Amino acid sequence: MPTNLGGKVTKLVFKTAGFRQILRSGAARADVSRRANAMATTAGEGFGVEVHTGANRVRATVATETWDAAKREATDKVLTRAIGAGRG
């Protein structure tokens, strides 16, 4: 969308392929993996991490791997509470 900055009209054009390249980079994968592992570690034993590179970005899943971990998440919300560990 054009914007008027001091009498001049400036138009921003985003390069979608460039964003995609950054979001799928090794650095992005390392950062996402680090954050997901921090959450799994904070949640405790029985939580695992899977990191995938999709068509547009890297994504991670932290999930229970044992019945005990599933029970702790269901009753104590240990993984839900560990989300903050992935923010830093």
The residues spanned by each domain of the chain are 29-88
pLDDT score at 7:
72
The verdict on pTM exceeding 0.85 is no
User: Phi-psi bin for 8: left (phi > 0), alpha (psi -120 to 50), beta?
Assistant: beta
Structure tokens at 5: 């900055």
Sort residue 79 into left (φ over 0), alpha (ψ -120 to 50) or beta: alpha
Helices (H), the chain: 16-23, 26-43, 67-76, 78-81
Look at residue 5 in the predicted model and tell me its pLDDT.
62
The pLDDT, as a whole number, for residue 1 is 57
Mean pLDDT by 10 residues, the chain (88 residues): 69 90 96 98 98 96 98 98 94
pLDDT score for 74: 98
